[in-house]
Amino acid sequence: MTRQQFQALSLGLVAAVVLALPLFVRSATYLHILILLYLYAYLTTSWNLVGGFAGVLPLGHATFVGIGAYTSTILSLQYGVTPWIGMLAGGLLSVFVGVLIGLPTFKMRGAYFALATIAFAEGIRVMVENIDQLGPLKINGPRGLQIPPLNFGLANFMFPGKEPYYYIIVTMLAAVLAFTYFISRSKLGYYLSAGGEEPEAAMALGVNVARCKLIAMAMSSFLTALAGTFWAQFTLYIHPKSVISLDLSFEIAFIALIGGRGSIGGPILGAIVLRPVSDICRIYFGDKLPGLHLIIFGVVLILVMIFLPRGLQEPFSGLYNKVADRLTSTVPRQE
């Protein structure tokens, strides 16, 4: 068995297990938890395009989740537009907002950039919370928007069971992982990595670092907004604190940092480890200690940064490579 064959076999086994899980997980609660796990892995992978490869630390990505959720929901409720079209509209609007945020903030470094993105995100959340009507658009302020579960079907992105949502988010996650893999091995990916690690050296070699980061921000904003529409159609109820909260932005960043920012598998590993912790904290301690999961994330982040600076993907990658070497070393390499 060659190394390429082993990698293809591993990927095929993982895909088979993921696709077959709904056949064995009959509990709606556990299926719900799996859907959220994949959703956060998708969100973190989208964040990783700018927060990982570009070497910056955006902490306001919930803004794009909210834009995607509100855009598709308003278009659906008030104008009868299918959420699939609303999903694309929310993504394009998020690109505009993302570039608008990135133009001034990418000139900042370190904590200043992170603080600026927090300020933008909080400003948008406060605005949405205090606006009932924006021209012809009904936003409904802090009460949020509820989607009546009336017209089930693929065209309306609404289903009576959780299985269709499961396969939709799995497809979205597979697509964003493939896209990230392609970007990481493209010229843009190399430019982003160079600009993130040594921006002065990259600029000296002729790389337009600011433009590359804006492109990454646009792609990340668009993909994140798509998840906002999925969130709205999955929960059938959105409000500012659920889709534009700093908690959501911080959780996405924590998952990436702990899993391993700038890597393909890091966001998935982070989601697998942290999402169950978040769900357990909300189920058992949500009424008494609502922010407990973020405290746990902070402690885990400190430990990971001390002992595994490159995240959890580092030991997992090492283990995978050892197994691959063991299984493929028995076959003589062809010259």
Highest mean pLDDT among 288-292, 296-300, 330-334: 296-300
Residue 110, pLDDT > 80, answer no
Q: What is the pLDDT at residue 329?
A: 63
Grade residue 334 by pLDDT with cuts at 50, 70 and 90.
very low
Task: Quickly state the pLDDT bin for 214 (edges 50, 70, 90).
Answer: very high
Would you say residue 118 has pLDDT above 70?
A: yes
- pLDDT, residue 128, reads 93
Q: What confidence tens digit (pLDDT) does each residue in 61-98 have?
A: 999 999 999 999 999 999 999 999 999 999 999 999 99
pTM attached to this predicted model = 0.93
In whole numbers, what is the pLDDT of the chain averaged over residues? 90
What pLDDT is attached to residue 335? Answer: 39
SS (H, E, C) the chain: CCHHHHHHHHHHHHHHHHHHHHHHCCCHHHHHHHHHHHHHHHHHHHHHHHHCCCCCCCCCCHHHHHHHHHHHHHHHHHHCCCHHHHHHHHHHHHHHHHHHHHHHHCCCCCHHHHHHHHHHHHHHHHHHHCCCEECCEECCHHHCEECCCCCCECCCCECCCCHHHHHHHHHHHHHHHHHHHHHHCCHHHHHHHHHHHCHHHHHHCCCCHHHHHHHHHHHHHHHHHHHHHHHHHHHCEECHHHHCCHHHHHHHHHHHHHHCCCCCCHHHHHHHHHHHHHHHHHHHHCCCCCCHHHHHHHHHHHHHHHHCCCCCHHHHHHHHHHHHHHHHCCCCCCC
